[in-house]
Structure 1
């Protein structure tokens, strides 16, 4: 810990004795940041329903909170996600907050005063898209995990996709990617993975920032192959994007992989953890300490022996990934800034297509402009060459 005392003393302009006391606080904050990155936790409620305005034609929900004015249409999860409603775009602003039309209440009792969160999920089951859907289980290294198997109306022979949601979300998040691939004739497997409801716990009950989860992605690819797939597209959201990139870079099924589609992907984890540390007014070296603690396994994560976070970078993935990649990213993403996606595209311009939109929060890009998002996704999926096209 001597080097950290020395750095802290220099940063704060204080003596060794005060630095020795301060380094304890630094270590505590670094440990907290590291644990937060890998610990599953219930998402916070970020809006409150201040008023419900009902008439014969529509119900209007007035919301107050930091997410209430996001552009686009969203799901509203309330009562610890047991309630689900769908809300349209912002209609008005007033003393009660922001007004949105309640398009549908799928479950629960939407009422005034309830706290909730806006999510980009929208759909609750891929069967809502009109495709034949099965609920299946697939084996992973920790036990069986649930998944949706979605059959397109006109399947292109032996073409499959694995859809992988992000950290702290549920498979419902990834359903938005099913329709454009189904129209392209691709059979979809929308998976749960370790630490999800419907899936086994991972090591220590914690996340592996996509490294451990990539093995569940590979297990899903194995299931697809067992069911007849000869080529597979990986479709990942946020940390699910990391898992897909790791599987593409290091996995045993790279020979059947034809491409990646990523939405708001976490590509550079060192930069991402520094971004979140800065958001808490912590200096960079505190984030670096957290990275070191995770790397050495001092803060336990979902990977035995520690997390090789520094290997999760745009430069590393650009070197290792050799299939076409489509990235949906937003300049307004405050949770996973688009810088990593930009660096990845710049480092591998022949393979990476970056669709960078101006508006849209993290994993909520579809919600702002679903038509354009789906059109580009479908076009990309249709154009993917067979695996091994580069010789």
Structure 2
């Protein structure tokens, strides 16, 4: 009987690629979805941060000369001390080892170095300057400007000149205070430019020292200030337009007998001074410069402030920050290169004194050290180890007075 050869049955060959290909397809769809979400989050974060730049660094919110009593609450008062608790608008300097002005409904005075109490309050020495004594429970304002008006002992030296500006007005268009030298020699005039959204009151601490040095002072306002015309942009320009108001003030000083001008820039006022020295035809009349916590690089200031700019004190990732700056350029017209006065420091042509607090939460110390490194022969840097933003005078009035007075006396005798 014939036998039929048997064939060994092999399992059907399985396809080697289709299933993995299907799995890879799902993986790539998942990756693409994640990327879309991440890009959306990145774009949303960058847009949000650009808005924070617009509402913060670029926003014109001019301060007023009337104190707002919401910084602290007075919890106890003795004839020589006051105990303070944090209020709704308390500043970073609540516990700072520095002296400040304190104002309450019915009076104002000066407070000294703090004792920090276990319950979170601070007790500071109190000297009443005017009005009635404060009472426990009252709300109060704390101000680094120290004085809430021109000290009565200076009043005889203070006048309000009219400075003609590019707007065609004024000083009651751009109000200014002129303090004649107590010596009667007004040939050297220090022109004081306050910082971002500040007031002329901020300049009085410098005037206190200038008077001791026999130097006259012109404390100016500029566009966007309370009582001054607004900048056409409606925003702060970090010197790009404000320098013209300083230019008008220099003209006024020269027309009224000044032969030597010292420019004094506090915070954003430092950027205004730098822009003047870059652009003005009167730069040769400047014989000295004093910069106090100067904002000489808007990018550096924004980067420094981004360390804890997100809710919960979270830092802004650097790629998102740089994207936000580009968006801010489109949204607000800011020219980041033009507001960087450290990339080209050729505007530094005369002796320049830089005062900088090491505890400054607004302007990094690197701004001052970079300027010193760029112009070592012209820049003198004085660092105040415990000082916060534009508070070197408050943190160490004696050293500030000694250093600034010596600088001014050197310019006056030159």
Under TM normalisation by the shorter chain, which class is it?
0.7 to 0.9
SS in 2 for 1:137: coil
Deviation at 1:50, TM superposition (A): 4.4
Match of 1:100 in 2: 124
- C-alpha change, 1:205 and 1:86, in structure 2 (3 Å) is farther
1:69 partnered with 2:103: no
SS in 1 for 2:288: strand
- C-alpha change, 1:183 and 1:136, in structure 2 (3 Å) is same
- C-alpha change, 1:248 and 1:126, in structure 2 (3 Å) is farther
User: Would the aligned equivalents of 1:165 and 1:171 in 2 still touch at CA under 8 Å?
Assistant: yes
Task: Please list, as runs of the form range in 1=range in 2, the aligned pairs for 1:276-315 lying within 5 A after superposition.
Answer: 276-280=305-309, 281-296=315-330, 298-299=331-332, 306-313=333-340, 315=342
Match of 1:210 in 2: 239
Deviation at 1:83, TM superposition (A): 6.6
Deviation at 1:217, TM superposition (A): 1.1
Deviation at 1:62, TM superposition (A): 2.5
Q: Distance in 1 between matches of 2:303 and 2:69?
A: 24
Normalized per residue, the structure richer in strand is 1
| CA RMSD, Structure 1 to Structure 2 (Å) | 2.8
User: Would the aligned equivalents of 1:149 and 1:187 in 2 still touch at CA under 8 Å?
Assistant: yes
Q: Distance in 2 between matches of 1:349 and 1:321?
A: 10
Task: Please list, as runs of the form range in 1=range in 2, the aligned pairs for 1:66-215 lying within 5 A after superposition.
Answer: 66-77=92-103, 84-91=108-115, 93-95=117-119, 97-106=121-130, 110-130=134-154, 132-142=157-167, 143-144=169-170, 145-156=174-185, 158-215=187-244
Of the candidates 66, 77, 87, which is equivalent to residue 53 of structure 1? 77
- Normalised to the residue count of structure 1, the TM-score between the two structures is 0.84
Q: Distance in 2 between matches of 1:46 and 1:283?
A: 33
Match of 1:302 in 2: none
Of the candidates 46, 50, 73, which is equivalent to residue 30 of structure 1? 50
Deviation at 1:146, TM superposition (A): 0.7
Deviations 1:24-48 (A, max 9, x none): 3421322322332111237798742
Q: Distance in 1 between matches of 2:182 and 2:219?
A: 17
- Normalised to the residue count of structure 2, the TM-score between the two structures is 0.79
Deviation at 1:294, TM superposition (A): 4.4
- C-alpha change, 1:128 and 1:366, in structure 2 (3 Å) is farther
Deviation at 1:222, TM superposition (A): 1.4
Larger Rg: 2
Q: Distance in 2 between matches of 1:136 and 1:129?
A: 20
Deviation at 1:68, TM superposition (A): 2.1
SS in 2 for 1:376: helix
- C-alpha change, 1:99 and 1:367, in structure 2 (3 Å) is same
Deviation at 1:190, TM superposition (A): 0.6
Q: Distance in 1 between matches of 2:245 and 2:335?
A: 18
Q: Distance in 2 between matches of 1:14 and 1:182?
A: 65
- C-alpha change, 1:317 and 1:177, in structure 2 (3 Å) is farther
- C-alpha change, 1:210 and 1:14, in structure 2 (3 Å) is farther
- Segments of structure 1 that go 5 or more residues without pairing to the other structure are 1-12, 300-305
Of the candidates 351, 366, 371, which is equivalent to residue 324 of structure 1? 351
Match of 2:392 in 1: 365
Deviation at 1:341, TM superposition (A): 0.5
Match of 1:9 in 2: none
Deviations 1:170-210 (A, max 9, x none): 11011111132233332210111112222222224321123
Q: Distance in 2 between matches of 1:237 and 1:89?
A: 23
Deviation at 1:140, TM superposition (A): 2.2
Q: Distance in 2 between matches of 1:98 and 1:243?
A: 36
User: Would the aligned equivalents of 2:264 and 2:273 in 1 still touch at CA under 8 Å?
Assistant: yes
SS in 1 for 2:182: coil
Q: Distance in 1 between matches of 2:81 and 2:347?
A: 51
Deviation at 1:307, TM superposition (A): 3.1
Number of residue pairs matched by the alignment? 365
- C-alpha change, 1:210 and 1:109, in structure 2 (3 Å) is farther
- C-alpha change, 1:345 and 1:14, in structure 2 (3 Å) is farther
Of the candidates 217, 221, 232, which is equivalent to residue 250 of structure 2? 221
User: Would the aligned equivalents of 2:50 and 2:328 in 1 still touch at CA under 8 Å?
Assistant: no
